[in-house]
Structure 1
Amino acid sequence: MNTELQQDLAALTDSVKRFTLERIAPQVAAWDEAGEFPRTLYREAAELGLLGLGYPEALGGTPAPLALRNAVSVTMARYGGSGGVLASLFSHHIALPPVLRHASLALQQEVVPPVLRGEQIAALAITEPGGGSDVAGLRSTARREGDDWVISGEKVFITSGMRADWLTVAVRTGESRGAGAISMLLVPGDAVGLSRSALKKMGWWCSDTALLRFDQVRVPGRYLLGEEGGGFKMIMGNFNGERLSLAAMALGFAQACYDEAVAWARQRQTFGAALIERQVIRHKLVDMQMRIASTQAWLAAVTARADAGEEQSGNADWVAQVCMLKNHATQTMQFCADQAVQILGGMGFMRGTTSERIYREVKVMMIGGGAEEIMKDLAARQLGL
Structure 2
Amino acid sequence: MAPPFTPEHELFRKTLRDYVVRELAPHALEWDEAGIFPREIFRDLAELGALGVNYPEEVGGSGGDFWHAVVLAEELVHSRNSGVNMGVLVQSQIATPIIQEIGTAEQKKEFLAPALAGEKIAALGISEPDAGSDVAHLRTTARRSGDDYVIDGAKMWITNGTRADFITLAVRTGGPGYGGISLVTFPTDVKGFSVSKKLEKVGNLSSDTALLFFEDCRIPVRYLLGEENQGFYHVMTNFQGERLVAAIGAVSGMDQMVAEALRYGNERQAFDKPLIKFQVWRHRFADHLTSIEAARWLTYRACDLFARKEPAVKEISMAKLFAGDLIQRVVYDCMQFHGGMGYVVETPVARAFRDARLLSIGGGTSEVMKEIIAKLVPGF
TM-score bin (small chain): over 0.9
Runs of 4+, deviation exceeding 3 Å = 1-5
Q: C-alpha offsets along residues 343-371 of structure 1, whole Å, 9 cap, x if unaligned? A: 00111111121211111012211111111
Q: 2 CA distance for matches of 1:2 and 1:86?
A: 26
8 Å CA contact 2:301, 2:315 repeated in 1: no
Q: 2 CA distance for matches of 1:263 and 1:253?
A: 15
8 Å CA contact 1:81, 1:253 repeated in 2: no
8 Å CA contact 1:56, 1:63 repeated in 2: yes
Q: Does 1:364 align with 2:355?
A: no
Aligned partner of 1:349 in structure 2 is 343
Give the counterpart letter for 2:84 in structure 1.
Answer: V
Aligned partner of 1:88 in structure 2 is 87
Equivalence map 1:153-164=2 (5 Å):
153-164=153-164
Give the counterpart letter for 2:40 in structure 1.
Answer: T
The CA deviation at 1:332 is 2.1
8 Å CA contact 1:67, 1:300 repeated in 2: no
Q: Does 1:115 align with 2:115?
A: yes
Aligned partner of 1:133 in structure 2 is 133
Q: 1 CA distance for matches of 2:28 and 2:287?
A: 28
SS of 1:154's equivalent in the other structure is: strand
8 Å CA contact 1:159, 1:210 repeated in 2: yes
The CA deviation at 1:380 is 1.5
Q: Unaligned 5+ residue runs, structure 2?
A: none
Q: 2 CA distance for matches of 1:104 and 1:52?
A: 18
Aligned partner of 2:297 in structure 1 is 297
Equivalence map 1:1-385=2 (5 Å):
5-77=5-77, 79-92=78-91, 93-174=93-174, 176-196=175-195, 197-310=197-310, 315=311, 318-384=312-378, 385=380
The CA deviation at 1:293 is 1.0
Q: C-alpha offsets along residues 266-322 of structure 1, whole Å, 9 cap, x if unaligned? A: 111112221122111212221221121111121222212222231xxxx2xx21011
Q: 2 CA distance for matches of 1:296 and 1:256?
A: 13
SS of 1:156's equivalent in the other structure is: strand
Q: CA RMSD in A?
A: 1.5
Give the counterpart letter for 2:250 in structure 1.
Answer: A
The CA deviation at 1:71 is 1.9
SS of 1:335's equivalent in the other structure is: helix
8 Å CA contact 1:256, 1:355 repeated in 2: no
Q: Unaligned 5+ residue runs, structure 1?
A: none
8 Å CA contact 1:250, 1:333 repeated in 2: yes
- State the aligned residue count: 377
Q: 2 CA distance for matches of 1:210 and 1:165?
A: 14
The CA deviation at 1:198 is 0.6
Q: C-alpha offsets along residues 35-78 of structure 1, whole Å, 9 cap, x if unaligned? A: 0111111111111111011111100002222222112211221x
Q: 2 CA distance for matches of 1:255 and 1:235?
A: 31
Q: 2 CA distance for matches of 1:67 and 1:274?
A: 39
Q: 2 CA distance for matches of 1:102 and 1:211?
A: 27
Q: C-alpha offsets along residues 156-201 of structure 1, whole Å, 9 cap, x if unaligned? A: 0000001110101111111x21110111111112111111021100
Q: 1 CA distance for matches of 2:329 and 2:66?
A: 26
Cα distance change of structure 1 residues 5 and 340 upon mapping to structure 2, 3 Å threshold = closer
- TM-score, scaled relative to structure 1: 0.95
- Aligned-residue sequence identity (percent) comes to 38
Cα distance change of structure 1 residues 339 and 2 upon mapping to structure 2, 3 Å threshold = closer
SS of 1:282's equivalent in the other structure is: helix
